[in-house]
Chain A
Amino acid sequence: MKKLFVSIGFAMLIFISLFSTVISKTNSVSADSQNSIETETSDKYGIKSLCSKFGFDVDAPEYLPEGAAHTEIKYVNDENPSISLFFRCKEPVKTSYPEKHFQIIYTYFDESTSLEEYVLEFNDWELEEPILVNGTEGYIVSASNTEFDEYLYFIVYYRKNVLMRIFLANIGYEEAYQILKSIK
């Protein structure tokens, strides 16, 4: 009889543990899906899903700084269509000042478009070594000697006709590296 009670006890413990895991997963998805962006395993922040609504097939980072929440989307339909996603990092307890924020800009290019203006733009910036990401080369560019006070680094990545630039404000190299390496 005693063994039976122990077994039932264990079974209940396992059930409670499983139940709370399910609840916690549900909550985490719900928190991530702010602004109704759908989330999937391969699209942790819903960036791909969001961009697809504007006809963009993009790669996206799986890692973003803590508390990152998107605040604005801008879609421009011109010669080189682009979509810009603005994020702020709302930390539960303010540990850094000034606030971290960043924007991801996807720009579509086709073969009739020249890219040299973007290349020339980078010549005054510091290029780090290329980093192999997802089968292509990504770059972290240092902006420490430019007029952009807040923007310390930006990430450049190109694939499938879409140029991705991530401008990072008040975010250091280590996080920039983590973001770049997490692109999928």
Chain B
Amino acid sequence: MKENIFEKICSDSSVLLPDNAELNELLEAEIAKENPDTELIDELISAIAENDNLIIPDVDIENQLFSIKRKAGINRRKGLFKQKKAAIAAVVALIAVGNISTLTVSGENLFTAAFRKGEQIFIDLKKIKNDSQSSKYDFSPPTTDGDPYGIRYFCSVYDEIPPVVPTWIPDNLSYHEVTLSNIDTYSHIVVDFKEYGYEKEMHKGKSFSINYYFFNNRDDLGEYLNHYKGNNSEKVLFEGDNSSLTAYTLPQINVAVHSIFMCRDNVLIQTYSLNLTDEEAFAILDAIR
């Protein structure tokens, strides 16, 4: 069995216990070895954490290693060395998960040593912190009175001009996702608005999306239109400024969905409303200009 250097150091009362800087050096050196001693690494991590008053979740490095090796299968191109390193990094990551709030204050070295030396991708917390001071993401699309949600701007990325845009949507909805795609006969642009906080939960919360299909050829649009018209759609009254717009409601996909389409020139516009009231859904359409 390998000699546990750390235990040896601890048991020698004439030797002062190393501080975290030294422990980190030892940890880095051990992880960098071809055959790192997982027991020693475990001890070093515990000591570093103890010095920083961190709580270490009960994680068994050998078991983690075994689990990862088993997942890896026999055809892994990497040798045991790399798997061990990955296992170590996985363990440290698990520890980090348990202590993330404390680590951001005092555990930078633990992250640095484990992730960088453990080959686990560039996760250098200190660097990320530094970078974030100089690079703050702050983007919202340019808007105008006639386009308060920046939909015209998003369409302009593909050099498309939407004939109409919604000028009102319920206050609690904000734009969440924009998808632009090129299909052979048309460009498709979708702007989704969702109620804040429901992004990751499907079919919960309110949402509204507007789809634009910019057809290269109006004949192709006609085919799509016929498909919708023949699908038990119902013509709805749409008067006022948009007299040239004809809108149709589609059969409800389920009780929570309103689906309406309209077309102008070579553009097919389709809207979906999820979990909106009838009043809200039609108020959006009413404010399409």
Contacts and interface: CB of A to CB of B under 8 A. Distances in A.
Interface stretch (B11-19, B131-139, B248-256): B131-139
A86 B89 CA distance: 31
B73 A145 contact: yes
A144 B128 contact: no
Interface string B65-107: 0001001110111100010001001100110110010001000
B93 A116 contact: yes
B115 interface: yes
B132 A73 contact: no
B123 A53 contact: no
Contacts of A115: 123, 128
Interface of A: 35-36, 50, 53-57, 70-78, 81, 86, 108-111, 114-116, 118-120, 122-124, 126-127, 129-130, 136-137, 139, 142, 144-145, 156, 158-161
Most chain A CB within 10 A, of B123, B137, B176, is at B137
Contacts of B132: 109-111, 161
Question: Dominant SS at the B interface?
Answer: mixed
A76 B135 contact: no
A73 B76 CA distance: 34
B96 A116 contact: yes
A77 B175 contact: yes
Contacts of B115: 119
B135 A73 contact: no
A178 to B, nearest CB: 20
B128 A109 contact: yes
B90 A35 contact: no
B131 A160 contact: yes
B121 interface: yes
A126 B76 contact: yes
B236 interface: no
Contacts of B72: 124, 126, 145
5 contacts: A70-B182, A71-B182, A72-B181, A73-B181, A74-B177
